């Protein structure tokens, strides 16, 4: 069963996921993907981590305009409601 | 190799069945997918199990997106993630271009190209997570080369080769390889009418002077799926007895 998607749990999964994917420096809510050196394939993989964890499916259209970590967290929390 | 399985679409007979059998011989649990030939698929699965492998025959029309979703669900429940995918399901509906109907065009493109895209899309994310994956697309020398009467088939197979190259570069850094195998003339049910009828004289044009066998294509699939082929990606392995050399 997918985990309950609270803001805190989503934030933790996304930060852990980006760290696992080799993000540069500390991952914070306001970090941009550019600062973290996170590329488009990393975001595909992050989407899979999120889907496995919370059952929320993110497609290309959903993520193409996102630029920072906080935006992903907010989107996943909103989608899981 | 990581825990997972191989899925071969359209593997009730021909090149698909031989590829499934070869991959089972390499130790992969096998999902034998078929659309209508349940008996053929069960036979392939049974032979693999009798030889000491694991296999299950699973019905799904790969042109139906919902059926693809259900297929992956049932494969993953049974055998874990699909780490080797062979997009083999294919069809022909021949005719000279001025006489090809929209339906013949669309069915061939949908089965040979669009279905391969949808199945690959579904398979890739778990492969990326596993840092291991092998996608092998069964193309054809028809596509890179002309074959009168097969404009739809040629377009689908040329498209499949283009698809192979681009997806390969997208995922290469995650240990996932994407390659195509381009058979020449292989004796299967798909080419039955060619070998029995208007194909007279065709074999003489093949430098090897004989058609290929499904097993000869399958052994190339088996190689591309192996650890040894980890650095082979984005390429097309032509297996045609020298026909296009």
Burial of B31 by CB count in 10 Å (0-12 exposed, 13-18 middle, 19+ buried)?
buried
Beta carbons of B128 and A49 less than 8 Å apart: no
Chain A residues with a Cβ under 8 Å from any Cβ in chain B: 41, 44-45, 47-49, 51
Residue A23 lies in a domain: yes
Buried b (16+ CB within 10 A) or exposed e, A31-65: bebebbebeeebbbbbbbbbeebbebebeeeebee
Task: Single out the catalytic residue among A16, A37, A39, A52.
Answer: A39
Beta carbons of A45 and B173 less than 8 Å apart: no
Residue A1 lies in a domain: no
Give me the mean pLDDT over the B58-79 stretch: 98
Chain B interface, best mutation among A21, A39, A42, A48, by max B CB count within 10 A = A48
Q: What pTM was computed for the model?
A: 0.94
**Chain A residues within an 8 Å CB radius of B130:** none
Residue A48 lies in a domain: yes
Residue A66 lies in a domain: yes
Residue A2 lies in a domain: no
- DSSP classification of residue B114: I
| Annotation marks residue A52 as catalytic | no
SS3 percent helix, strand, coil of chain B, rounded to 5, is: 50, 20, 30
Task: Single out the catalytic residue among B153, B171, B186, B221.
Answer: B153
The helix/strand/coil state of B108 is helix
CATH of the domain at A58: 1.10.1200.10
**Chain A residues within an 8 Å CB radius of B126:** 48
Beta carbons of A48 and B171 less than 8 Å apart: no
Shortest CA distance from A44: residue in chain B = B125
Residues 6+ apart with CB under 8 A from B31: B5, B6, B7, B8, B55, B56, B58, B71, B75, B78, B79, B82
Joined together, the tokens standing for residue B67 give 């059926």
Shortest CA distance from A52: residue in chain B = B126
Q: How many CB atoms lie within 10 A of CB B167?
A: 21
**A41-45, B63-67, B158-162: range with lowest mean pLDDT:** A41-45
Q: Cα separation of B108 and B91, whole Å? A: 6
Beta carbons of A41 and B170 less than 8 Å apart: yes
Q: Cα separation of A19 and B245, whole Å? A: 49
- pLDDT surpassing 70 at residue B31: yes
Q: Hey, what domains does chain B have and what are their CATH numbers?
A: 5-239 (3.40.50.720)
Shortest CA distance from B174: residue in chain A = A41
Shortest CA distance from A60: residue in chain B = B121
Residues 6+ apart with CB under 8 A from A56: A2, A5, A50, A76, A79, A80
Residue A43 lies in a domain: yes
Which residues partner with B179 through β-bridges?
B136
- Please tell me which residue, B192 or A27, carries the higher pLDDT value: A27
Q: Which domain holds residue A42?
A: 7-80
* Residue A4's pLDDT band (cuts 50, 70, 90): confident
Give me the mean pLDDT over the B142-148 stretch: 96
Q: Report chain B's C-alpha Rg in angstroms.
A: 17
Count: domains in chain A: 1
The helix or strand, by DSSP H or E, that contains position B242, with its residue range, turns out to be: none
- DSSP classification of residue B111: I
Joined together, the tokens standing for residue B48 give 């693999």
Chain A interface, best mutation among B128, B131, B171, by max A CB count within 10 A = B128
pLDDT in tens, B109-140: 999 999 999 999 999 999 999 999 999 999 99
Residue A65 lies in a domain: yes
- pLDDT surpassing 90 at residue B211: yes
Beta carbons of A41 and B128 less than 8 Å apart: yes
**Chain A residues within an 8 Å CB radius of B170:** 41
Beta carbons of B125 and A49 less than 8 Å apart: no
Q: Cα separation of B134 and B10, whole Å? A: 17
pLDDT in tens, B166-209: 999 999 999 999 999 999 999 887 777 776 545 557 789 999 99
Q: Cα separation of B96 and B98, whole Å? A: 6
Chain B residues with a Cβ under 8 Å from any Cβ in chain A: 125-126, 128-129, 170-171, 173-174
3-state secondary structure A12-74: HHHHHHHHHCCCCCCCCCCCEHHHHCCCHHHHHHHHHHHHHHHCCCCCHHHHCCCCEHHHHHH
């Amino acid at each position: 069963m997918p985990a309950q998607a609270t803001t805190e749990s989503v934030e933790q999964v996304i930060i852990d996921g980006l760290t696992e994917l080799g993000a540069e420096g500390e991952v914070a809510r306001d970090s941009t993907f550019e600062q973290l050196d996170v590329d488009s394939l990393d975001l595909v993989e992050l989407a899979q981590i999120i889907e496995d964890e919370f059952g929320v499916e993110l497609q290309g259209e959903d993520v193409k305009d996102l630029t920072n970590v906080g935006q992903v967290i907010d989107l996943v929390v909103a989608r899981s409601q | 190799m990581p825990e997972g399985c191989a899925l071969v679409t359209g593997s009730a007979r021909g090149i698909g069945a031989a590829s499934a059998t070869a991959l089972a011989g390499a130790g992969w649990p096998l999902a034998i997918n078929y659309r209508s030939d349940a008996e053929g698929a069960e036979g392939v699965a049974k032979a693999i199990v009798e030889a000491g492998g694991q296999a299950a025959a699973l019905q799904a029309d790969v042109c139906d997106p919902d059926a693809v979703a259900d297929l992956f669900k049932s494969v993953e429940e049974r055998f874990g993630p699909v780490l080797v995918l062979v997009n083999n399901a294919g069809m022909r509906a021949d005719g000279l271009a001025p006489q090809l109907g929209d339906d013949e065009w669309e069915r061939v493109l949908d089965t040979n190209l669009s279905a391969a895209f949808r199945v690959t899309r579904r398979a890739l994310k778990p492969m990326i997570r596993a840092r291991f994956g092998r996608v092998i697309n069964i193309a054809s020398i028809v596509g890179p080369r002309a074959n009168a009467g097969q404009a739809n088939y040629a377009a689908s197979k040329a498209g499949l080769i283009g698809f192979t190259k681009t997806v390969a570069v997208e995922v290469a850094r995650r240990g996932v390889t994407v390659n195509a195998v381009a058979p020449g003339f292989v004796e299967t049910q798909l080419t039955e009418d060619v070998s029995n009828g208007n194909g007279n004289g065709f074999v003489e044009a093949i430098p090897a002077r004989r058609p290929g066998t499904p097993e000869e294509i399958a052994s190339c699939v088996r190689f591309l799926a192996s650890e040894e082929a980890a650095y082979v990606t984005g390429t097309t392995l032509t297996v045609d007895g020298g026909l296009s050399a």
